[in-house]
Amino acid sequence: MSKSNVLFLCTANSTRSQMAEALLRKHAGEYYEALSAGMEPMVVHPLAVQAMIEVGIDISGRRSKSVKEYLGRIALGHVIFVCARAEKNCPYLSSPLIPESWPFEDPTACHGTEEECLEKFRMVRDQIEGRVRAWLVVRQ
């Protein structure tokens, strides 16, 4: 049985979509091929790496990817936007799929101390994990 491809999209593919990809792999990697991409790819944020390591997932070797790397090249079973800006500005989707919207706060917008910002990354990570788990329950 082949796995259904799930593409998580955000603006930079540096935090939220990376976390969602990794968390789906952790919880249901045997059933879904988790992918992530962005409209304007940047490097994976170091605080995202740190927040994920704290829950036993290492995303330090991941790279940010453009949505253009996937569209028209693979069959997508699910497209999930994890940020409102990307959803609003994505001109690329011409798929018959109806994308899902899971807008999470952008932790990279934090302007506090490093510890305060790390706490924001943890909060968003935990929200994403809760949403991934709930999404999987509906599909069982």
Whether residue 90 lies in the annotated active site: yes
Q: Where does residue 66 rank: exposed (0-12), middle (13-18), buried (19+ CB within 10 A)? A: middle
Tokens matching residue 91:
């001109």
Q: Kindly provide the b/e burial profile for residues 29-48, where b requires at least 16 CB atoms within 10 angstroms of the residue's own CB.
A: eeebbbbbbbbebeebbebb
| Catalytic, out of 55, 71, 90, 123 | 90
| Catalytic, out of 7, 9, 10, 23 | 10
Whether residue 110 lies in the annotated active site: no
| Catalytic, out of 83, 86, 118, 124 | 83
Cβ contact 11:86 at 8 Å: yes
CA distance 88 to 91: 9
The values of phi and psi at residue 117, to 5°, are: -70, -40
Distances in Å between the alpha carbon of 73 and those of 5, 11, 109, 128? 12, 20, 32, 27
What is the set of active-site residues?
Answer: 10, 83, 90
